[in-house]
Amino acid sequence: MKYISTRGQTARKQFSEVLLMGLAPDGGLMLPESYPEIGPAVLHEWRGLSYPDLAFSIMSLFATDIPPADLRDIIDRTYNAEVFGSDEITPVRTLRDGIRIQALSNGPTLAFKDIAMQFLGNAFEYVLAKEGESLNILGATSGDTGSAAEYALRGKAGVNVFMMSPEGKMSAFQRAQMYSLQDENIHNIAIEGMFDDCQDIVKALQNDAHFKEEYRISTVNSINWGRVLAQIVYYFYGYFRATTSNEQKVSFCVPSGNFGNVCAGHIARQMGLPIHRLIVATNENDVLDQFFKTGEYRPRNASHTYVTSSPSMDISKASNFERFIFDLMERDADEVQALWAEVGVGKGFDLGFMLDTIHEKYGFVSGKSLHRNRLEVIRQVYKEEGELLDPHTADGVKVARELREAGETIICLETALPAKFAETIAEAVGAVEIPRPAKLAGLEDLPQRVTVMPANAEAVKQLIRDTLA
């Protein structure tokens, strides 16, 4: 299988090349030339598979330039009970009102990004070793993404991670999670400033072509194709767990920000998984909800993005959205290029005339959830089931309940564990004990390793030079 760019100006590439890429050179996102079609016979065969077996069956259709035994090894080292807490990896449970919850958050950093990042860490190491190369990953984080990347790449040969975070702006738990890592290839940099300052430094270093090449600087953000691929697997797995035959359909409700998670659901549906609807749930930052209701895509800048109690969805420019629009435009790269030229000048676009296609052919619908909605869901589920939901998952449950049709099976994706968001949980239900996986007991008491620096790109460059010297 070969990969192409949504902007159409990049030569076709192999999987292992795409794996190490961010944006395509033409500014687009990489996608398979076509999606493999999964017919009834294969679905039937896959129904009984374990998570790693299913992951291998799906990923080997896409990672065609990695020898099967090597891919199998990467998958077995990634998807096991030691890393994800159980052999099920992403178990499905049922709330009293019949809504299913698929737990994607039992990995090392308690958020769904681990599912993809843990795979990417092992796959990176494999590809770099094979090519005798090394890579320095540079990133900025306000919490979830940075820790998922660090836990995926810690101790991996051929990779260093330089992760910037705003000094004093993350929760005690988040700081402890990142700064307690003692691996020599993980470098935490606390910047005296805000998250935006961290991101500006990443951009400044990315734009310094000479520095970037000399120090082999790369990133792992949510547009990476390997991450989307790894996420396709749990849609299949969740479907098999929530149904007894392949004649049945289910809908997925996905707490969304950058559209990476639900983009994998879209691809699973295109491959032939019997998904009825893909329900996009947003928080107060409702750019995607607006699109799926009106066809208007109006991305906003940072100053028009609210800080909310489901912070990992505080996004007003959905970086993976272009992949869906490419399919919607029947893969007309010129059309996509024209639409994103409008996005580039801050205008966005209006596809209102395609709303029927978006809803009927592609199954997308959406809803939004506000602070008081998520508190209400957390409170109500706690009262009735004695179980705590994280704020992002609560947004999903709110929207799923609102949109559910008679007889519809909806799987809500649980994107984080409540232990990460103690403040909001306390606001919803008062001071209760929030369950935390045993391996994270006493996390905040561990010694921490972090370098504090001014918000200055030159200073960060010098630190990287000194570290790699």
Ligand X SMILES: *Cc1c(COP(=O)(O)O)cnc(C)c1O
- The nearer residue to ligand X, 232 or 333, going by C-beta atoms, is 232
- The nearer residue to ligand X, 61 or 117, going by C-beta atoms, is 117
- The nearer residue to ligand X, 226 or 257, going by C-beta atoms, is 257
Q: Of the candidates 259, 297, 326, 382, which one interacts with ligand X according to CB under 6 A?
A: 259
420 annotated active-site: no
Of 67-75, 117-125, 253-261, 457-465, the segment contacting ligand X by CB under 6 A is 253-261
Residues 131-160 that bind ligand X (CB under 6 A): 144
- The nearer residue to ligand X, 205 or 389, going by C-beta atoms, is 389
In three state form, how does the secondary structure of the chain look?
Answer: CCEEECCCCCCCECHHHHHCCCCCCCCCCEEECCCCCCCHHHHHHHCCCCHHHHHHHHHHHHCCCCCHHHHHHHHHHHCCHHHHCCCCCCCEEECCCCCEEEECCCCCCCECHHHHHHHHHHHHHHHHHHHCCCEEEEEECCCHHHHHHHHHHCCCCCEEEEEEEECCCCCHHHHHHHHCCCCCCEEEEEEECCHHHHHHHHHHHHHCHHHHHHCCEECCCCCCHHHHHHHHHHHHHHHHHHCCCCCCCEEEEEECCCCHHHHHHHHHHHHCCCEEEEEEEECCCCHHHHHHHHCEECCCCHHHCCCCCCHHHCCCCCCCHHHHHHHHCCCCHHHHHHHHHHHHCCCCEECHHHHHHHHHHCCEEEEECCHHHHHHHHHHHHHHHCCCCCHHHHHHHHHHHHHCCCCCCEEEEECECHHHHHHHHHHHHCCCCCCCCHHHCCHHHCCCCCEEEECCHHHHHHHHHHHHC
Annotated active-site residue in 13, 113, 156, 317 = 113
Q: Could you say whether residue 312 binds ligand X (CB under 6 A)? A: yes
Q: Could you say whether residue 261 binds ligand X (CB under 6 A)? A: yes
Q: Could you say whether residue 327 binds ligand X (CB under 6 A)? A: no
Residues 392-431 that bind ligand X (CB under 6 A): 392, 415-416
CB 16 to ligand X: min, Å:
23
Q: Could you say whether residue 367 binds ligand X (CB under 6 A)? A: no
Number of shown-chain residues binding ligand X (CB under 6 A): 16
CB 313 to ligand X: min, Å:
5
Of 9-17, 190-198, 251-259, 398-406, the segment contacting ligand X by CB under 6 A is 251-259
Q: Could you say whether residue 111 binds ligand X (CB under 6 A)? A: yes
- The nearer residue to ligand X, 61 or 313, going by C-beta atoms, is 313
User: Which residues would be at the binding site for ligand X (CB under 6 A)?
Assistant: 111, 113, 144, 222, 255-261, 312-313, 392, 415-416
What positions carry a catalytic annotation?
Answer: 113
